[in-house]
Amino acid sequence: MAAPVISIRELHTRFGAVWVHKGLDLDVAAGEMVALVGGSGSGKTTLLRQMIGLLTPTQGEIRLFGEPLFGGSVERECALRRRFGVLFQHGALFSAFSVFDNIAFPLRELKRFDEATIRDLVMLKLEMVELLPRHGQLTPSELSGGMVKRVALARALALEPELLLLDEPTAGLDPDRSDSFVRLIRMLGEELGLTLVLVTHDLDTMAALATRVAVLAEQRILAYDSIENVIRVDHPFVRNFFLSERGARALRNTHHR
């Protein structure tokens, strides 16, 4: 059997005197779309940053595609880095660069493509996220919130990753823009065969995308199952999160697969 795309064992994270994670385990199999949910400050963003090696755990092990994140050669680490893309919470575009140059950035960094090829690849990525070639000339300050997310997604997909991590992808978008961005993520996820990990507070986003839900509470993954099964877990966070009026409505719209 293939190694899980992400495998986390006995992860501990401490900031000063505060333990954010204590003995956290999580496996994400290829093709899963995992929604990571948990209260504010429960350590979701921290976990995402650790998954991609931006932050070293206090203790414990994280493997991507069966390989440890740290300790290999520089070449091996670079090769591993190309297999995932990240969409940070606020888009995190380079504000001095045009949309085109933002998307081209990871391609240029590779030093493998000439400018004509880069141009073709950027145009393809713009089309994938349903933007037009002329949008490439805009700067981030000229974009709407929804467009910033699409450009950030195009950049995250530039190197054709197998794994895509998204931190609150629909935060700050109005309901219509949020719905259309979720549809785009789902379509690209299915077409490109991506493994997805997304942090979200939004039940509609979770219901539309997630094949499994991981609940981060009490410093660990307290539950990891289908939405249907996770909502039956008897825990205050789960009750509050899923069984409110708003939660019940979102769950009626669950995308069954």
Ligand X SMILES: Nc1ncnc2c1ncn2[C@@H]1O[C@H](COP(=O)(O)OP(=O)(O)O)[C@@H](O)[C@H]1O
Binding site for ligand X (CB under 6 A): 15, 20, 38, 40-46
> What are the residues whose beta carbons fall under 8 Å from the beta carbon of 123, sequence distance 6 or more?
133, 136
Question: CB of 253 within 8 A of CB of 208?
Answer: yes
Nearer Cβ to ligand X (84/237) = 237
Give me the residue whose beta carbon is nearest to Mg ion: 45
The item of ligand X, Mg ion, none sharing an interface with residue 94, based on CB under 5 to 8 Å by kind, is: none
Least distance between ligand X and beta carbon 51 (Å) = 12
Q: Judge whether 217 and 39 are in contact, CB under 8 Å.
A: yes
Residue 43 or residue 169: which is nearer to ligand X going by CB?
43
Stretch that binds Mg ion, among 37-45, 65-73, 130-138, 145-153 (CB under 5 A): 37-45
Instruction: Find the binder of Mg ion among 30, 45, 139, 222 (CB under 5 A).
Output: 45
Q: What are the tokens at 169?
A: 């992808």
139 contacts Mg ion (rule: CB under 5 A):
no
CB of 48 to ligand X, least distance (A): 8
CA distances from 257 to 5, 211, 228, 248 (A): 21, 8, 12, 19
CB of 100 to ligand X, least distance (A): 31
Tokens of 243: 């069984």
Q: Minimum CB separation from Mg ion for residue 92, in Å?
A: 13
- The reply on whether position 39 binds Mg ion by CB under 5 A is no
| Nearer to Mg ion among residue 45 and residue 211 (C-beta) | 45
Report the nearest approach of ligand X to the CB of residue 50 (Å): 9
Residue 96: exposed, middle, or buried by beta-carbon count in 10 A (0-12, 13-18, 19+)? exposed
- CA nearest 91: which of 40, 155, 135? 155
Least Å distance, CB 184 to Mg ion, is 22
Specify the residue, 45 or 58, whose C-beta has the smaller distance to Mg ion.
45
Q: Which segment (41-49, 91-99, 130-138, 229-237) binds Mg ion by CB under 5 A?
A: 41-49
**Spatial distance between the Cα atoms of 123 and 130, rounded to a whole number of angstroms:** 11
Distances (CA, A) of 112 to 35, 107, 109, 118, 159: 34, 8, 8, 10, 11
H/E element, 112: none
| CB contact at 8 A, 167 and 115 | no
Task: Determine the size of the site formed for Mg ion (CB under 5 A).
Answer: 1
Considering beta carbons, is residue 237 or 242 the nearer one to ligand X? 237
- The nearest distance, CB 48 to Mg ion, in angstroms, is 8
List the beta bridge partners of residue 15.
18
Q: Which is nearer to ligand X, 40 or 95 (CB)?
A: 40
Question: Is residue 180 near Mg ion by the rule CB under 5 A?
Answer: no
Which residues pair with residue 34 across a beta bridge? 197, 212
Rule CB under 5 A: which residues touch Mg ion? 45
